[in-house]
């Protein structure tokens, strides 16, 4: 058992793959989703194939294939489309962007985030379905607990808390204080599974968040404010997705102004501590 846990904690992507696969199984088994195996296989397979292409081309280590697995599972949980080629497009853009859109040796956009946005904007035949998760207490506990484990391992709990705290406060001020709705309505919105997945698994990507902690907190709050405004003023669906895409464009500038350590996925096998930012 100890060796299994040591293997899992050596690379945060192991936790991400395990938990995201668990969420998918939860959706199918408990929430009674249709088991859209063709959609899952296309997204997952395209991500792996494109990653493998760039691994061979750039002569990269094969352990980076795990990043494509994380992206494929994340997109399977959020992205829906009827034409299969739209799924291929979204997944291909997601992985290719890591290698083609880079500044200072670091990719700019969260791959899954950009892939979903590209599929929706370029085709008009894809969408994100926040309501598929419901808001049950078991799901909140599952996503929250698993998400906390992941972000603590990659040292990005500050990002999750800053975003969720700011977004929840703004939504509470509007829904409860301004509109006079019951607090239960606000709590229901904050318990949405898609929002929690975004909070703990997408916005916390250590490769695309600012390196310095102070910059990350301000960056996260900016995403929360923009997501709130897009939803309140413009009735945009899945606003955190679009807010992250827009604000990510300034991440390279923040990294140049506020210096911080670059993140490394792998922890040396003989390391007992869980470093935040290697």
Q: How many CA atoms lie within 13 A of 152 on its CB side?
A: 9
Burial class (CB in 10 A: 0-12, 13-18, 19+), 50: buried
**Confidence at residue 97, expressed as pLDDT on a 0 to 100 scale:** 97
**Confidence at residue 271, expressed as pLDDT on a 0 to 100 scale:** 47
- Tell me the pLDDT of the chain (278 aa) as tens digits: 667 777 777 888 998 999 999 999 988 988 888 889 999 999 999 999 999 999 999 999 999 999 999 999 999 999 999 999 999 999 999 999 999 999 998 999 999 999 999 999 999 999 997 767 776 767 777 788 888 888 888 889 999 999 999 999 999 999 999 999 999 999 988 888 889 999 999 999 999 999 999 999 999 999 999 999 999 999 998 999 999 999 999 999 999 999 988 887 776 555 444 333 33
Structure tokens at 100: 């083609």
The string over 78-89, giving b where at least 16 C-beta atoms fall within 10 Å of a residue's C-beta and e elsewhere, is bbbbeeeebbbb
**Confidence at residue 268, expressed as pLDDT on a 0 to 100 scale:** 56
What pTM was estimated for this model as a whole? Answer: 0.91
**Confidence at residue 278, expressed as pLDDT on a 0 to 100 scale:** 33
Structure tokens at 88: 């291929």
**Confidence at residue 51, expressed as pLDDT on a 0 to 100 scale:** 98
Strand-pair partners of 103: 106
**How do 79-81 and 102-103 pair as beta strands?**
unpaired
């Amino acid at each position: 058992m100890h060796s299994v846990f040591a293997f899992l904690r050596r690379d945060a992507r192991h936790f991400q793959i395990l938990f995201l696969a668990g969420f998918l199984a939860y959706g199918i088994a408990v929430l009674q989703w249709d088991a859209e195996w063709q959609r899952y296989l296309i997204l997952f397979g395209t991500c792996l194939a494109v990653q493998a292409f760039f691994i061979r081309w750039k002569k990269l280590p094969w352990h980076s294939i795990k990043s494509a697995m994380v992206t494929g599972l994340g997109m399977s949980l959020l992205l829906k489309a009827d034409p299969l080629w739209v799924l291929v497009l979204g997944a291909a853009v997601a992985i290719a962007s890591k290698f083609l859109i880079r500044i200072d040796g670091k990719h700019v956009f969260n791959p899954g985030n950009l892939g979903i946005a590209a599929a929706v904007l370029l085709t008009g035949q894809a969408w994100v379905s926040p309501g598929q998760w419901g808001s049950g207490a078991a799901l909140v506990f599952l996503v929250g607990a698993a998400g906390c484990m992941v972000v603590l391992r990659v040292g990005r709990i500050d990002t999750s808390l800053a975003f969720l705290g700011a977004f929840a406060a703004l939504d509470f001020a509007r829904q409860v204080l301004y509109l006079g709705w019951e607090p239960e309505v606000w709590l229901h919105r904050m318990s949405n599974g898609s929002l929690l997945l975004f909070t703990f698994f997408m916005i916390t990507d250590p490769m695309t968040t600012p390196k310095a902690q102070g910059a990350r907190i301000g960056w996260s709050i900016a995403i929360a404010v923009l997501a709130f405004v897009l939803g309140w003023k413009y009735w945009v669906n899945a606003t955190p997705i679009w807010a992250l895409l827009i604000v990510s464009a300034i991440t390279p500038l923040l990294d140049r102004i506020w210096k911080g350590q670059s993140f490394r996925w792998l922890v040396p096998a003989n390391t007992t501590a869980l470093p935040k930012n290697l």
